[in-house]
Structure 1
């Protein structure tokens, strides 16, 4: 699903007059080496680098291979909840570690990759004299570290390009990859989804791109929900419509982005907190606090009271 969404986004970028060069960076070691060699000259000459997920080891490798130049600007474009963790870790000078990972070293592979990660972190740290500027472009609520510029993504292009959507009477439920990342227990997640669908009359389940087919089959069997695998990011899918008057979600990126993308419509975005009892034994000690922070800072979303047992309002 990730690859499919990227290809569709590449089509939209071309429609907007942007030249797109597709690299099969994750097609084994050969693909990674070929992509790095292809990009090396462009990276050396570029005055501005726009990157996505700063936790990605491939992105970190690209940054590490990029010569340090005082005049080069780096812009991080990421609307994921991990952006909140990235900005905090950058401000504290810590290693970049995803919030759902236990520990800080990342195992043997993490130790081997540590020099590359350190070099990438230096590239993402602006100089006090204003040279080597760093910008974060995101819809997430973040406090900019010293000398880092934060520009708010208000989804103006999305609203101008698509919609407004046709609204359906039922509710839509947004899936998450919390089970796949080992944070939430599978059975507890299925129970919560079934409870939300029953209480709010949900008819569709928008699958996260990382959700496994096996889990989605179980969701369908347990709830009768129509499983939808979006071919574009959900913000664009919802803006094109049709979409339910109520969109239900667990703590995730969409509780921040959908209210922006759907501004001016009658859609209500509602978020259901993750009960601590749903967490697995292997969940990171930071997981509960991080998820609570995602919900607590989502000013455009309605917070469901007492979990998936009462309807909003």
Structure 2
């Protein structure tokens, strides 16, 4: 049995893509049970429910598990999943940095482990794994508080699960440009399922802009971000702004008032929204997952994806020291995109 754990719509989409690739590209692999561990924010939950409907239509077994509903919820979740954890032959996870998933991994003895994309975090995961470092999200400053100290034995044990051995294979299914850590297999995610089920999209004349949660994660200054969005919208005649599911309502209201952009709250991951259409002939983004995934999902269309670099002056004091280097790496490794310099949105050059 294949047992998957997902906490975001993108992770669930990539489990679908993995199962389609495993099924030979004609159908989604059977015998997949997906345990959805939903976050608390309404946008993520809504997108997860819509993506789960697509997965059910493809024959997947979806188990919605409220694992964050109070202090006793984690223990109840572990007890309810004990049988599945013992019998699974393969574990598929979307977020190796998740403390919840790391706790679950300490309880499994599956012979195969697959990590599917959780966006650009996959790049940091494989790099840390190759260097033998502890698993820390790139935008964190790395401070070790009481909670991290208490969970360090769990994290260390879970990390050992990502090391291939005679008893266990480890695979990363990804659309991101990564180098394989020793013994880890890399399988390409080409968004074949998405392209087989949706599109090609109808294209609009204008440009669309993709939002980011860099403000919400404490990386980018809010005012600088609003100014950058306004500059891009003016220069490229953008009419719509596809909000990231974690963007705050307050920031989006301010952005709408400052730019006149139509704010769109997608009900599915952007790769599906774009492939289904309509979508602008130009899609503008800051460094994020979509500069890697949208060119794949939109293969065969005339859509151009352009990425605007993050100026170091936009970063907040709360940003991790690694933030600028990581964001630059996201841009520099993107394929089939156009690159825009900060504040000089008319200077378009081929990446």
Instruction: Give the TM-score range, shorter chain.
Output: over 0.9
The TM-score, its normalising length taken from structure 1, stands at 0.95
1:91 is displaced (CA, Å) by 1.1
Aligned match of 2:230: 194
Distance, in Å, in 2 between the alignment partners of 1:194 and 1:209 is 20
- Determine if the alignment matches structure 1 residue 126 to structure 2 residue 164: yes
Aligned match of 2:283: 247
Unaligned stretches of 5+ residues in structure 1 = none
- Determine if the alignment matches structure 1 residue 138 to structure 2 residue 174: yes
Residues 276, 303 of structure 1: CA spacing in aligned structure 2 closer, same or farther, 3 A cutoff? same
Confirm or deny: 8 A CA contact 2:95 2:118 kept in the other structure: no
The counterpart of 1:112, out of the listed 145, 150, 154, is 150
Aligned match of 1:43: 85
Confirm or deny: 8 A CA contact 1:172 1:205 kept in the other structure: yes
Aligned match of 2:310: 274
Aligned match of 1:168: 204
- Determine if the alignment matches structure 1 residue 179 to structure 2 residue 215: yes
Distance, in Å, in 1 between the alignment partners of 2:89 and 2:136 is 28
- List per-residue Cα deviations over 1:115-172 (Å, max 9, x = no partner): 1100100111112x4x300000010110001110010100011001000000000100
- Determine if the alignment matches structure 1 residue 231 to structure 2 residue 267: yes
Confirm or deny: 8 A CA contact 1:255 1:301 kept in the other structure: yes
After TM superposition, the structure 1 stretch with the greater mean CA deviation from structure 2, 184-193 or 87-96, is: 87-96
Distance, in Å, in 2 between the alignment partners of 1:167 and 1:124 is 42
1:30 is displaced (CA, Å) by 2.8
Structure 1 stretches of at least 4 aligned residues deviating more than 4 Å after TM superposition: none
Secondary structure, in 3 states, of the residue corresponding to 2:241? strand
The counterpart of 1:29, out of the listed 68, 71, 78, is 71
Distance, in Å, in 1 between the alignment partners of 2:297 and 2:118 is 12
Distance, in Å, in 1 between the alignment partners of 2:54 and 2:70 is 27
Aligned match of 2:59: 17
Query: Over the residues paired in the alignment, what is the CA RMSD in angstroms?
Result: 1.2
Aligned match of 1:83: 122
Higher strand share: 2
1:18 is displaced (CA, Å) by 1.0
- List per-residue Cα deviations over 1:171-201 (Å, max 9, x = no partner): 0000000001100000000000000011100
The counterpart of 1:102, out of the listed 141, 162, 177, is 141
Aligned match of 1:52: 94
Distance, in Å, in 1 between the alignment partners of 2:246 and 2:260 is 21
- Determine if the alignment matches structure 1 residue 6 to structure 2 residue 48: yes
Distance, in Å, in 2 between the alignment partners of 1:56 and 1:218 is 31
Unaligned stretches of 5+ residues in structure 2 = 1-42
Distance, in Å, in 2 between the alignment partners of 1:138 and 1:307 is 32
Distance, in Å, in 2 between the alignment partners of 1:201 and 1:280 is 28
The TM-score, its normalising length taken from structure 2, stands at 0.85
1:284 is displaced (CA, Å) by 0.6
1:309 is displaced (CA, Å) by 2.8
